[in-house]
Amino acid sequence: MIPVIKSIKEVREYVKAWRKDGKSIGLVPTMGYLHEGHKSLIVRAAAENDCVIVSDFVNPTQFGPNEDFETYPRDIEKDAALCEAAGASIIFNPEPEEMYVNALTTVSVDKITKVLCGKSRPTHFDGVCTVVSKLFNIASPDRAYFGQKDAQQLCVIRKMARDLNFDIEIISCPIVREADGLAKSSRNTYLDEKERKAALCLSRSLAIGRTMIENGEHDAAAVKAAIRDEIEKEPLAKVDYVELVDTENLEAVRDCSGGILAAVAVYIGKTRLIDNFIID
């Protein structure tokens, strides 16, 4: 069975031994409760590196006070089986006390963390950047793998890695969806049957927006309105945001002819879901 490691020291021993043998290392940071989306990251990491570390850590510092840290689903045994099948070498599954001992340091990226998810989750990206920096320092990987579903997170981590000179290639992997279009997410487990059906308004509305752009619509306001209208047809849905932004600086665009990220966040009942598409 794949080793499930609790201590930073032990991960470092693996890393040191692999480096001594000239092996390359891929890191897949996760919060566990792994699904096909995570699996695709691990499979890719295993194809591109000699050794793969999957971190499996529900990071308390990226949850707001009224968010779902306590209830976030956890299942390390199932995760271990998936990691092993996908080709990971070790799992790093620390307790919060191992990661944060009287910590006084925060890694914070400005500007691009203040928009989209950052508006309704003002402390979220500080938590993400801090834990990802720590994981980069613990695992010292050659490459780190993130899903495009968290498009803003990817953009923020790329910027952080550039700004702090992490010599790590940040690799983005496509969104994995259920057969009916719902983007895979550990939070989908919160949805009851009615909400699960209602949640399809995210992917459906984005598909409408995408088709408009592909058919030549340039006006971002028109595309945004069409996406919002489709979501608002769903009685269980409440829009947090619908935005069309530049893929690099995340600033709102008026014209959708350049590289754009169309991103939505929607509450389905109490569950907040996100989805997006990118047109280069």
Kindly list the residues in this chain that would bind ligand PAF in the complex (CB under 6 A): 29-31, 59, 62, 128, 131-132, 150, 153
Q: How far is the CB of 189 from ligand PAF (least distance, A)?
A: 14
Query: Residue 210 CB, nearest distance to ligand PAF (Å)?
Result: 23
Cα dihedral 112, 33, 67, 244, rounded to 10, equals 30
Nearest residue (CB) to ligand PAF, 45 versus 131: 131
Distances (CA, A) of 1 to 13, 86, 177, 204: 19, 13, 29, 40
Cite the active site residues: 38
Q: Give 45 or 227: the residue with its C-beta nearer to ligand PAF.
A: 45
Tally of residues, the chain: 280
Radius of gyration over alpha carbons of the chain, in Å?
19
Nearer to ligand PAF, 107 or 115 (CB): 107
Phi, psi of 81 (to 5 degrees): -65, -45
Q: What is the C-alpha to C-alpha distance for residues 151 and 160, in angstroms, rounded to an integer?
A: 14
In the three-class reduction of DSSP (H, G, I as helix; E, B as strand; rest coil), residue 24 is classed as coil
In the bound state with ligand PAF, the residue whose beta carbon lies nearer, of 89 and 198, is: 89
- 61's tokens: 């510092």
Closest distance between ligand PAF and the C-beta of residue 157, in Å?
7
CB of 34 to ligand PAF, least distance (A): 10
SS3 185: coil
Token code pair at residue 205? 């509305």
Neighbours of 77 (CB within 10 A): 9
